C-alpha cells in the first residue's frame, strides 16, 4: 500500500472501493480485549511490551468487550470460565473476531486427556477466527496470528450483505 502521503502528487482525491477503505481502516486499528487467563497471558504481555511491540499494529488492549474488535483468548479455559466467556463474547459488537492463543484454548492443550474441569478448546463455546499454536506461542507467533487476522479482514466485504 505504501505511505499515504507519498501517493498524492497533486490533489487530495483518491479513488478506491469502499470495501478497501473500510477494511484498511479496520485492520490498522484492531483494538483487542485483554483476556489473559493463564501462562499465555504472560506471552501476550511480552508481545505488548517494548521488545515485540504490539502497539505498532494499532492494537492496544481495552478492558471491556464493548469497545474491542478482537478477543484474544490466552490461556486455559475452564468450564467455570466458559459461561463467562460466552457472556463477554455476546457483549462485543460486530464486526468481532476471536484469536485463540495457545494449545489450551485451541484444543484443551496438555489437559486434553485427564482434565475434567477444562473445556477442550474455546471453539466449543465461541466461533474462532485464528488459531495460534504453541505452548505458549512465542510473541512472533502471536504477531503472525494478528497479521493473519488482518489478511482475513482485508478480504472481507462489509458493503455486500452477509448471507444469513
Partner 1 sequence: MIPQEISDKLKNKFGDAILESKTDGVIDPFIKVAPGKIEEIALFLRDSEDTLFDSLMCLSGIDYTKGKLGVVYHLHSMKWNHKIVLKVDVSVEDPHCQSVQSVWKTANWHEREAYDLFGIIFDGHPDLRRILLPDDWEGHPLRKDYQVPEYYNGMKVPY
Contact positions vs partner 1 (CB under 8 A): 79-80, 82-83, 107-108, 112-113, 116-117, 119-120, 124-125
Closest CB to partner 1 among residues 117, 154: 117
Closest CB to partner 1 among residues 56, 114: 114
Q: How far is the CB of 71 from partner 1 (least distance, A)?
A: 18
Q: How far is the CB of 107 from partner 1 (least distance, A)?
A: 8
Phi, psi of 20 (to 5 degrees): -60, -45
What are the counts of helices (DSSP H) followed by strands (DSSP E) for the chain? 5, 5
The DSSP secondary-structure symbol of 6 reads G
The DSSP secondary-structure symbol of 131 reads E
Q: How far is the CB of 119 from partner 1 (least distance, A)?
A: 6
Say which residues have a Cβ less than 8 Å from residue 161's Cβ, sequence separation at least 6.
none
Contact yes or no for 161/68 (Cβ under 8 A): no
Closest CB to partner 1 among residues 8, 112: 112
Q: How far is the CB of 101 from partner 1 (least distance, A)?
A: 19
Closest CB to partner 1 among residues 17, 87: 87
Q: How far is the CB of 43 from partner 1 (least distance, A)?
A: 24
Inter-CA distances, 80 with 34, 76, 119, 125, Å:
19, 11, 9, 12
Closest CB to partner 1 among residues 9, 113: 113
Q: How many CA atoms lie within 13 A of 49 on its CB side?
A: 8
To the nearest 10°, report the CA torsion of 75, 79, 84, 90: 90
Amino acid at each position: 500500500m505504501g505511505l499515504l502521503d507519498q501517493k498524492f502528487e497533486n490533489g487530495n482525491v483518491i479513488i478506491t472501493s469502499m470495501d478497501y477503505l473500510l477494511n484498511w481502516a479496520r485492520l490498522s486499528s484492531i483494538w483487542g480485549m485483554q483476556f489473559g487467563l493463564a501462562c499465555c497471558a504472560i506471552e501476550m504481555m511480552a508481545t505488548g511490551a517494548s521488545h515485540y511491540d504490539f502497539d505498532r499494529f494499532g492494537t492496544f488492549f481495552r478492558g471491556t468487550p464493548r469497545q474491542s474488535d478482537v478477543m484474544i483468548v490466552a490461556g486455559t479455559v475452564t468450564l467455570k470460565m466458559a459461561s463467562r466467556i460466552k457472556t463477554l463474547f455476546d457483549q462485543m459488537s460486530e464486526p468481532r473476531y476471536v484469536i485463540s492463543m495457545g494449545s489450551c484454548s485451541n484444543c484443551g492443550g496438555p489437559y486434553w486427556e485427564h482434565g475434567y474441569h477444562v473445556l477442550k478448546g474455546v471453539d466449543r463455546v465461541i466461533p474462532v477466527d485464528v488459531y495460534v499454536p504453541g505452548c505458549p506461542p512465542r510473541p512472533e507467533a502471536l504477531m503472525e496470528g494478528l497479521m493473519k487476522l488482518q489478511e482475513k479482514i482485508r478480504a472481507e466485504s462489509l458493503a455486500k450483505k452477509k448471507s444469513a
